[in-house]
């Protein structure tokens, strides 16, 4: 069975992982060595990255490439990898958002 993944779906999974770990797309981009607008471009152009970039992202978050690209894999999203959202973690994320908020 062939699974067709859109760039938007791929980026939604990245956003889920970023939110789960209280990081921004730019932090991810910097960590794996891609441009800060590249992730948004995948959603806009409805594309997914090359295999090597997808592997970097999957390794960064500790998820399978299969789940990252297709959304299919019984082990992911990895409950055991992503920490539960405790009140303290939620408060940290909220504080980070408030601190970094810049109105347009």
Q: Could you check whether the bond before residue 36 is cis, i.e. omega within 30 degrees of 0?
A: no
What is the residue extent of each domain of the chain? 7-100
Mean pLDDT in the chain? 80
Predicted TM-score (pTM) above 0.85:
no
The model's pLDDT over 61-99, given as tens digits with 9 standing for 90+, comes to 888 888 888 888 655 555 444 555 566 666 777 777 777
Break the chain down into helix, strand, coil percent, rounded to 5. Answer: 60, 0, 40
Task: Write down the pLDDT at residue 57.
Answer: 94
For the segment 41-58, the average pLDDT, to the nearest whole number, is 92
N- to C-terminal Cα separation, the chain: 44
Task: Write down the pLDDT at residue 37.
Answer: 92
Task: Write down the pLDDT at residue 36.
Answer: 85
Banded model confidence at residue 1, pLDDT cuts 50, 70, 90: very low
CATH code given to domain 7-100: 1.10.260.40
Nearest to residue 53, comparing CAs of 77, 31, 20, 86? Answer: 31
Task: Write down the pLDDT at residue 103.
Answer: 67
């Amino acid at each position: 069975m062939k699974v067709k993944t859109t760039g938007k779906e791929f980026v939604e999974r990245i956003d889920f992982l970023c939110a789960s770990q209280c990081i921004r797309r730019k932090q991810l981009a910097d960590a794996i060595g891609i441009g800060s607008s590249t992730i948004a471009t995948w959603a806009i152009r409805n594309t997914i990255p090359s295999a090597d970039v997808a592997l970097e992202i999957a390794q960064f978050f500790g998820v399978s490439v299969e789940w990252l690209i297709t959304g299919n894999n019984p082990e992911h999203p990895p409950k055991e990898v992503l920490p539960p959202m405790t009140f303290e973690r939620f408060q940290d994320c909220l504080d980070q958002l408030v601190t970094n908020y810049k109105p347009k």
